[in-house]
Amino acid sequence: MSGKVYLIPTVLSADALFSLPPYITDTVRSLRIFYVENERTARRFLKALDKSIDIDSLQLLPMNEHEPPDLAKTKQLLKEGHSIGVISEAGCPAVADPGQLVVKAAHAAGATVIPMVGPNSMLLALMASGMNGQNFQFVGYLPVKPADRAKAIRELEAASARKGQTQLFIEAPYRNNQLLKDVLANCKPSTQVCVAVDLTAPTEYIRTQTVAQWGKEGFDFHKRPAIFLLFAE
């Protein structure tokens, strides 16, 4: 009998274990093999879920940009009947995350894939934004070079206006302020912009207002996990 792949959500904020349903802990206790982005973070997360888990007895396999998952090994483990957990650095695995490669291998091996419920920054931000939740697009990171970034922002605004589509994007936390400045510099005054930071944390902040309104007040989202949303009418 083939093993299964469990997509295990993690917290968005270290002190937000309350955001995870109990069945995640039950599943984790039953697994011995995990694909993880960062072993240190994964160990800390597993211990936070249940201090009785013997971390040293687990097989933690790498899954990141420097060490892609060994997909041949994945298929072999599944065919031998071993079930595997996939743990992201934050939020839901396999969404804007290398876990998708493990999932793809599981399907190729004919294994069952089980997505589990947990916090997702994109959906939480979209829910709280007041923007169109029926037509939206997540585009990940925008270009870093100023000219390319400005062009990408203008294209997202045009697509939003044309399709009535909410645009979602992210940035490395230390570049949050610059990204928002670039959005304000390249979008029309009436375009709506939402910034959602520190989701599920005590310092959570979610604000939607026009480009013109953002431009009238100061802001500082430096090094705070954030997601940005844009909607043009």
Final residue of a domain: which of 62, 83, 115? 115
**pLDDT, tens only, 6-20:** 999 999 998 899 999
Say whether both 92 and 150 belong to one domain.
no
What is the number of other CB atoms lying within 10 angstroms of the CB of residue 156?
A: 23
Structure tokens at 163: 């399709």
Say whether both 151 and 202 belong to one domain.
yes
Which pLDDT band holds residue 98 (cuts at 50, 70, 90)?
A: confident
Q: What is the rounded distance in angstroms from the CA atom of residue 200 to the CA atom of residue 186?
A: 30
Final residue of a domain: which of 86, 115, 144? 115
What is the number of other CB atoms lying within 10 angstroms of the CB of residue 110?
A: 10
Mean pLDDT of 188-214: 98
Structural domain total, the chain: 2
Say whether both 153 and 74 belong to one domain.
no
Say whether both 161 and 108 belong to one domain.
no
Sequential DSSP letters for 94-152: TSSSTHHHHHHHHHHTT-EEEE-----HHHHHHHHH-S-SSSEEEEEEPPSSHHHHHHH
pLDDT reported for residue 96: 80
**pLDDT, tens only, 112-150:** 999 999 999 999 999 999 999 999 999 999 999 999 999
- Sequence-separated (6 or more) residues with CB below 8 Å from residue 132: 164, 165, 166, 231
**At residue 97, does pLDDT exceed 90?**
no
Mean pLDDT of 86-93: 91
**At residue 104, does pLDDT exceed 90?**
yes
Final residue of a domain: which of 56, 83, 115? 115
Which pLDDT band holds residue 187 (cuts at 50, 70, 90)?
A: very high
**At residue 65, does pLDDT exceed 90?**
no
Look up the CATH number of the domain holding residue 63.
Answer: 3.40.1010.10
Domain limits for position 67:
4-115
